[in-house]
Amino acid sequence: MKTNETETVQSVERAIELLYCFTTRTPELSLNDIVKRTGLNRTTVFRLLSSLMKKELINKNAAMNTYRLGLPFIHFAQIVTENLDLRKMALPIMNELNEITKETISLNIIQGASRICIEKLEGKEDIRQFINLGIPYPLYKGASGKLLLAFSKDELIEEVIEGSGLTKNETAELKKDLLLFQEQGFAFSMDERIIGAFAISTPILNSQQQLIGGLSISGLSARLDNNKQLFIKAAIQSAEKLSAMMGYQKLGG
Amino acid sequence: MKTNETETVQSVERAIELLYCFTTRTPELSLNDIVKRTGLNRTTVFRLLSSLMKKELINKNAAMNTYRLGLPFIHFAQIVTENLDLRKMALPIMNELNEITKETISLNIIQGASRICIEKLEGKEDIRQFINLGIPYPLYKGASGKLLLAFSKDELIEEVIEGSGLTKNETAELKKDLLLFQEQGFAFSMDERIIGAFAISTPILNSQQQLIGGLSISGLSARLDNNKQLFIKAAIQSAEKLSAMMGYQKLGG
DNA sequence: AGAACACGTTTCATAATATGGAACAATAGA
DNA sequence: TCTATTGTTCCATATTATGAAACGTGTTCT
């Protein structure tokens, strides 16, 4: 069997074709409806539907022997839109921050037990903080990582600490930082992950008050001096604007 | 091979497991991430991903060799929520209508080129309009069907008329009705699909001004007399309330 | 700089697995 | 009542999914 184009799995493709049969106009389909629409064998459709049902992508309306799309799609869509929106909506705000600070701006998310940068704007100064897109960095080091960790669930924090190889003292130090960052709503570091560099990082939250990413300013420590308060203020404002766009609402007092 | 429990397709189940690897926290995964999470063979995951990508359920971030969920999920979620919400939110409103009118209340949607009832509340009178859930009825007959048709795309109207076997005169009559229903925002019929019965039907629209269903009051013609205007008003109010819940916003003049 | 490693991708032989025809049950329609 | 339609189960077949191995590339470690 020649497969120059990348190989695919027939049954999976067919199963997805079933999903595409459902539309706003036709949200409920009988087995036979699907057979007609796809042209597949009745038995095959039945088996594919069973598989989709087992994994909850399809629900059966027993009363009328029809099938419809399952609840997990709502969750999947949330994942898609959240990240789609985050990146898209972040860019103009990152640009603003970049104009104000002239430093490198980055957008980070948690990936497993690491942090990765999913978007960056390099600084305008001759000596810039360089950032790699998509490379995993530890969550227990540097402002960007620790900020994300500070707003994460305790389980993740424990998991990260375990895998970090930090000493007891270092762990205590880290936990103190996390608490501080949580309280003040931003993270600051200097000469920590990279000697000679500073970073300020702020949390982006969604409508359920969950962390979905972090916005960071980073640059040369030497340039920070009189700008620190300004940068922090700008970073917080930007993150709050982004959070609002992602549906976050500040809890009223 | 003994399969007492309903048979399923391994590769489809596995493909779905891949989808479930993506979460709000980990919206971007590398092939290897997925291999670790699922415990599946690397080649298998690669092939499943290729299949999912071909059908656009997964996108590849070429820059960093990661995968993420595709846009179609947004569409699927729309289908799910629309119908989920519709039925759930409709029930209390249908109850209100039922209290006011004492007649049978039904919730209808378009299914292919037919109308089906997806929810009903039977009347409180001794002689009631009985309604079958999930049975397809023609769209060109009766208030409930014609209302749905009136708010549908021209293509569907043409398709329905073609399959209806209506004469030229009857078609003209139907089109006149559709226009009337569209203008006045409700449909009324008497002794049409069922002799001795009346029906009043009102449209439920979503945020994109699209029809997603219809709300109907139906009962014995003999009981209607002095209630007709009251029923129409109540039906319109209920449908508007439901539409608002589904995101519909009246166009400002 | 060189070696070892990790990761994505391709190839290929194997048999496990998906497939569709046929038969069955249940229900609706004539 | 008989026929047609639809959902479901069973089964033999070979198509199709599978995983080991190998390849190419880029990264990390020493």
User: For a pLDDT cut of 70, what percent of chain A falls above it?
Assistant: 94
Strand, helix or coil for residue B142: helix
CATH class of B75-245: alpha beta
What confidence score (pLDDT) does residue B69 get? 93
What are the residue ranges spanned by the domains of chain A?
Answer: 10-70, 78-245
What confidence score (pLDDT) does residue A88 get? 84
Which residues of chain B have a pLDDT value below 50? 1-4, 253
Span A117-121, average pLDDT = 84
Residues of B in contact with A61 (CB under 8 A): 134
What confidence score (pLDDT) does residue B183 get? 96
What confidence score (pLDDT) does residue A127 get? 64
Q: Which residues pair with B172 in a beta bridge?
A: none
- Whether A10-70 shares its CATH topology with A78-245 is answered no
Q: Which of B152, B227, B212, B209 lies closest to B182 in space, CA to CA?
A: B152
Would the pLDDT of A2 be above 50? no
Span A3-15, average pLDDT = 78
Classify domain A78-245 at the CATH superfamily level.
GAF domain (3.30.450.40)
* pLDDT tier, A1 (very low <50, low <70, confident <90, very high otherwise): very low
Q: Which of A44, A219, A10 lies closest to A131 in space, CA to CA?
A: A219
Q: Which residues touch strand C (CB under 7 A)?
A: A 3-4, 6-7, 10-11, 14, 40-44, 47-48; B 1, 7, 9-12, 30-32, 35, 42-43, 46, 65
Interface size, chain A vs chain B, as Cβ–Cβ contacts under 8 Å:
169
* pLDDT tier, A18 (very low <50, low <70, confident <90, very high otherwise): very high
Can you read off the two tokens belonging to residue B245?
Answer: 């819940």
pLDDT in tens, B110-141: 877 788 888 888 877 666 666 777 777 889 99
Would the pLDDT of A4 be above 60? no
Q: Which of A222, A203, A205 lies closest to A214 in space, CA to CA?
A: A203
User: For a pLDDT cut of 90, what percent of chain B falls above it?
Assistant: 52
**Cβ separation A12–B116 shorter than 8 A:** no
What confidence score (pLDDT) does residue B127 get? 63
Can you read off the two tokens belonging to residue B182?
Answer: 């569209």
The mean pLDDT of chain A is: 88
What confidence score (pLDDT) does residue B50 get? 92
Higher pLDDT, A3 or B238: B238
Strand, helix or coil for residue A224: coil
What confidence score (pLDDT) does residue A195 get? 82
Best B3, B6, B9 residue to mutate vs chain A (most A CBs within 10 Å): B9
The mean pLDDT of chain B is: 87
What confidence score (pLDDT) does residue B229 get? 95
Can you read off the two tokens belonging to residue A87?
Answer: 């990146």
Does domain A10-70 fall under CATH 1.10.10.10? My reply is yes
Chain C bases closer than 7 angstroms to a protein Cβ? 6-11, 17-22
A228–chain B nearest CA distance, Å: 30
Instruction: List B residues 64-93 in contact with A (Cβ-Cβ < 8 A).
Output: 64-66, 68-74, 76-84
Q: Which of B114, B124, B96, B112 lies closest to B215 in space, CA to CA?
A: B96
